[in-house]
A and B are shown apart, each in its own frame.
Chain A
Amino acid sequence: MKRTLLSLAALTVLFTFANADSHEGTAVSVRSYGETGTTVLERVASEHELTVRVDDEAGFYGNSALWMVGDHLSLDQALMAISKGLGARVTHNKETAQIELVLSDEPAKGLKTKGYDVSVLAGQFIEYVNDYGQPQYEEGGEEYSASEYLSFLIDELLVSDEGTWPEGSVVGDRLLYTLEARRHDHIRELLALLMSEHGGESGELAKMRELTETLDAARYSGEHSATPISSVLAGIFVAAKVPFVLNADFVEVYGDWHVDYEQATETSALTALHEVLGMVEDDEPAVLGVSEGVLTVSLDPYTTLRTYRVVDVEELLQKLDVAYQRQRTSPGKQDGFARSLKDDGGVDVIIDALYTQLSAEENNSEISSYGSRVVIRGGPDEIDAALGILEEMGWEKPQAK
């Protein structure tokens, strides 16, 4: 097995294309075990009758090692994954029939301006504030409208892969964004989940759940001595048939790391993956994520992670409101209680409790809210743990239809 993996690492790239229904829909398979980005891109391009243009300033990234395996990807999916692997922007310019490699901070092309009518969400937010909003004790604080609060949430959750905010404009109850189609899809998805009666999971969370379940079900064994960690990880992903890319930040720090990993008896590929990732330094831990259907290994904790779940806690708030009322004592008593759920912060009562309990489990999920909608961001296990805590608070999981 060790020999196989070493030869995998040395092996350059195997490259296949599935049936091509049309030029646009051609499925791409990429297998790169440390080959340079430019080499891989040229191969993709030649199979699609495209050419490659590497911007002068991005030459360094074109020469970087790419660790990625993915089958039956769309061209855009493959290029997005390659972007992550190289740390630069790789796009298909249909106008020039070129695959372009440019710096990640280069302005994106093909931007569209879209306005989102968020009046219904704003209305729900206002209803929440009127029902549960904490009284304002200090005068003169800055006020924001319901749609502005929503734009803050979008900024927080939908940071681009390059780390930029969507830079929206708020005009009345419309939000305006000028972005690529893919990022508009992310905004639409978030707004739809916030509007949904029971919230729900983001597409990337569902995909990550599917891929980690595949990893968990796959069996893996191997013996590695002083082997590059990239090669060991690639072996695990390949054995589980899970598409992956090692992000540029991970490769830059750990690309030359050599590890000893022995797993003589078969175990779950997910367990093996966690064991290998656990070998990196504690102060720069590796994080699993997903981007456009491909599992990613990066050092970026949550900044660009779009795996989240929206939870509607309206009913829980109602229960808590009653619970607060029942705890009220007569006024002016020693050890008495006269506050309400509003006084204690409304939804913040739930969020504070969530954070406290999650931190006890060393769960690093991030939590935001918009009115009675709570958004939990993290991996599938972390989010499931957070849902478990919510259930303990009295939240009821929506019944599957």
Chain B
Amino acid sequence: MREFTLAFMGLSLLLLSVPTRTHAKSDALVDCVYPGEQLGNALSDLAAQLGYQFEANPDDDVQLDQTIWVLARNAKPEQAAAWISASSGWHVNIDHAGRRVKIVEAEPETVNAPEVRAFDVSKQVNDFVEYQDRFGERVEQEGAETGGPTSAEQLQLVAEEVLDNGFDMSFSGSAVGRRLIFTAPRRHISQVDEFLALIASTQGGESRDLALDRDHRAHLASIKSDTMNDTAPVSTVLWQLFKDCQSPVFLDRSILDWLSIEDDLSEISPGVYANHREALFALAREQEFAVDGALGAIRLQMLDWEGSGSYRVFEVTKLLEQIEEDYKEMKTDDDLVEGYTGDIQREGGVNIIVRALEQQLENAGHSAMVLSYGSRVVVVGGVELVDTAVEVLKALGWDNAPEPGEDK
């Protein structure tokens, strides 16, 4: 009986141990406590947590001693790899089958199985054509209006510009009639899907990354401390700000190439501010970087004019109608000095709004990417930037309140 019991226990342990190893891909969570860590050390630690090997790339170009900054706990390994990739500028791949963590040179599409997906964009195209017919900017050059991209191609271009972050998010889309076809990893396809849905909506809306960024900021706003510095390295202030933060955080490569976080000094004391969200704003202003949400984490970056999954789509048809009336009312008699005979189409249609947004966001200290597709305006950036854009649009008379019976 005792032998049987021991044998049963041994079998049970064996059975337990097997699933633990084979389920590493889907179940295992890792801690990424790499605030100012060397890339090589971080990847060795990540591999060790998974029970895998870190396979250093023999390519001399990869600097394993370069600094990365990632702080996250209980994260999925793939997320951790994505954050480390963004912070290092190298593509980190977790090879579960080979039980290896490695740096790959190839584009992610060739690493992760790509997906092919066709999107029917008839609704978006119809809305665009309707906008063009009524408000679209008049082209002075004869015949120029026939040589441009189709409405579907325009949509493809806008989607790519909004979502292409210049690093791991690149696309090879095709516009075929009123369909867009993309071949890309699932995460990218999912972002295209979300973008096209928001463009189709008559209410616009926020992307998931932006909504998540909002949650992360709310969490940061709940953290307070009485830490006071005279002056301290930026890395110290970052640690003070995020050490108790439950939301994942990473510094994008763009910021690590710009700042020397160990050597550059900051005068920001978290204790001076009402909460860590406010202190982060102050640090961002002082060191001239931006904060947004990306890859499910808080991202500190300097990617002015780069695309991002963090954006909001605004529907501005009613505002365009109001502006159209304004220009009609500002017409004077013909051929007078200081006279005006223009209209909304001559002034640029939706570009009037885009230009105002760009100018006022710049005045408020933001370097914003603002794009449009028909009567939809897309503002790319983090919570503060998008909220400032809302303030600007409201000052213009834009009203987001849905009319009764309107779809969302």
Measured between beta carbons, the chain A residues less than 8 angstroms from B353 are: 171
Binds B, one of A119-127, A195-203, A204-212, A388-396: A119-127
Q: A176-B392, A345-B337 are in contact. List 15 more A-B contacts (CB 8 A).
A: A107-B285, A126-B329, A134-B338, A135-B336, A135-B337, A143-B341, A144-B340, A145-B342, A146-B330, A146-B340, A167-B359, A167-B363, A169-B355, A169-B360, A177-B360
Q: What are the 6 tightest A-B residue pairs by CB atom distance, in nearest-first order?
A: A172-B326, A115-B395, A169-B356, A133-B336, A172-B323, A178-B363
B329 near A178 with CB under 8 A, answer no
Indicate if B273 sits at the interface (CB-CB under 8 A). yes
What is the CA–CA distance of A145 and B335 in the complex, to the nearest angstrom? 14
Docked CA distance A96–B267 (Å): 12
Residues of chain B in range 346-373 having any CB-CB distance to chain A below 8 Å = 347, 352-353, 355-356, 359-360, 362-365
Asked if A107 and B365 make an inter-chain contact with CB atoms under 8 angstroms apart, the answer reads yes
Q: Which residues of B contact A111 (CB under 8 A)?
A: 363-365
Asked if B339 is an interface residue, CB under 8 A from chain A, the answer is: yes
Residues on the A chain within 8 Å of B282, using CB: 95-96
Interface size, B (range):
35 or more
Residue A97 CB within 8 A of the other chain:
yes
Collect the chain A residues with CB atoms within 8 Å of residue B342's CB: 143, 145
CA distance A97 to B392 in the complex (A): 28
Distance (Å) between the CB of B345 and the closest chain A CB? 13
B339 touches which one: A136, A176, A345 (CB < 8 A)? A136
Looking at chain A's contact residues, the main secondary structure is mixed
Q: Which residues of A contact B267 (CB under 8 A)?
A: 53
A178/B330 in contact, CB under 8 A: no
Q: Does B137 contact A (CB under 8 A)?
A: no
Complex contact A173–B395 (CB within 8 A): no
Contact assessment for A133 and B339 in the assembled complex, using a CB-CB cutoff below 8 Å: yes
Please pick, from A107, A119, A177, the residue contacting B326 in the complex, using a CB distance under 8 A. Answer: A119
A149 to chain B, nearest CB (A): 6
Write out the residue numbers on chain B whose beta carbons fall within 8 Å of the beta carbon of A173. 326, 329-330
A129 to B341, CA, bound (A): 12
In contact, A95 and B274 (Cβ under 8 angstroms): yes
Q: Would you call A29 an interface residue if the criterion is a C-beta within 8 Å of the partner chain's C-beta atoms?
A: no
Chain B residues with CB under 8 A of A2: none
- The answer to whether the Cβ of A130 comes within 8 Å of any Cβ in the partner chain is yes
A129 contacts B356, CB within 8 Å? no
What are 26 inter-chain pairs, A to B, with CB distance below 8 A?
A107-B365, A111-B365, A112-B391, A113-B388, A113-B392, A115-B394, A115-B396, A119-B326, A123-B329, A126-B329, A126-B331, A129-B338, A130-B333, A134-B337, A136-B336, A144-B338, A145-B342, A170-B356, A171-B353, A172-B323, A172-B327, A172-B330, A173-B330, A174-B396, A176-B395, A178-B360
Check B356 against A176 for contact (C-beta < 8 Å): yes
Expressed in whole angstroms, the Cα–Cα distance for A133 and B353 within the complex equals 30
A114 at the interface (CB under 8 A from B): yes
In the complex, the chain A residue whose C-beta lies closest to that of B357 is A169
- Within B297-335, which residues are at the interface with A (CB < 8 Å)? 322-327, 329-333, 335
Is residue B161 contacting chain A, with contact meaning CB distance below 8 A?
Answer: no
Query: How far does the Cβ of A259 sit from chain B's closest Cβ, in whole Å?
Result: 42
- B residues in contact with A174, CB < 8 Å: 326, 395-397
Question: Which residues of chain A come closer than 8 Å to B388, judged between CB atoms?
Answer: 113
**Is A95 in contact with B332, judged by CB distance below 8 angstroms?**
no
Report whether B336 and A96 are in contact in the complex, using a CB–CB cutoff of 8 Å: no
Nearest CB on B from A95, distance (A): 6
A303 to B195: give the CA distance in the assembly, Å. 48
Is A147's beta carbon under 8 Å from chain B? yes
| Interchain CB contact under 8 A, B329 and A133 | no
